[in-house]
Structure 1
Amino acid sequence: MSDHRRRPPLRLQPRRSRWLALMLLSVHLLAAAVLLVVPLEPVARGLLLLLVALSLGDTLWARVLALAPWSLREATWSEQGWQLGFRNGRQRQAVLLPSTLVTVPVVILHFRVGWLRYPSLILTEEVIAPERLRQLRVWLRLQGSAP
């Protein structure tokens, strides 16, 4: 392929999202509210509420605030494929999965890293520049979910 046809790498470094934090908090509070009205034994209810609270804490810590060592901090697409950067400094090659969602308001990138790791990025205009999001949507649609 000639040099004039090569695309520059597409680097995605999302910022923190208040919208995502609010949505996660709302869903977890709704789950807790449902557990309070469902007829359950007090011990079972308490354990399930604890699981909901742990899920909320982990999700906020690892996904929204990106403070966990395994938190995905950036994704770069180049001619060689996807490269993911994590908070602990590791860089890993990844495969973009067909479960990736591409819509106008949101793009959710699902990756596979190794055998059991499936990180994802939720991208809106709040977390990356609108022009970069538009460019990503075009590349994903033209390439069939793999830019």
Structure 2
Amino acid sequence: MIELKKNYHRSKSSEQQVTFILGQFIAVLFFWSSVSLASADEKETTDPSPWIVAYFSRIQLEVEKGWLYPVSAIERKEAGQVTVRMVISKAGGLLDVSVDRSSSIEELDEAAKEAVKKAAPFDPFPPSLQQDSVAIKLNFSYLPQ
């Protein structure tokens, strides 16, 4: 089951943020370009299209397929949480991937980035997603057992 948590806000840079909770990942999507937002006094009532939710669910599944916990990190019982920021073009190409918040363990950080790179390219945006590119933040949690 996918839980969708909407968190619309207006910031100084006129970003619109939507948070999707998908399995182990929390994907925070930032939409730039000509996004119309409600004023501070009005409530935003527009729900993301089911096609958009399905699109980001597919991205999450593809990233999970390539996500590995490095064996040497498991052996050392290293744990941590990494936030990776990725930018996807309208055509589905991976424009950028970087560590937004490090686990302080380079091997875990690199494994998270590599999972995103392996998953690319992605499907083109659904017609209801009119942005030229989308930045997504994914949280990866490494917990040895």
**Short-chain TM bin:** under 0.3
With the length of structure 2 as denominator, give the TM-score of the two structures: 0.26
More strand by share: 2
Q: Point out which structure has higher relative CO (alpha carbons under 8 A, 6+ apart).
A: 2
- Please tell me whether Structure 1 or Structure 2 has the larger radius of gyration of its CA atoms: 1
TM-score by length of 1: 0.26
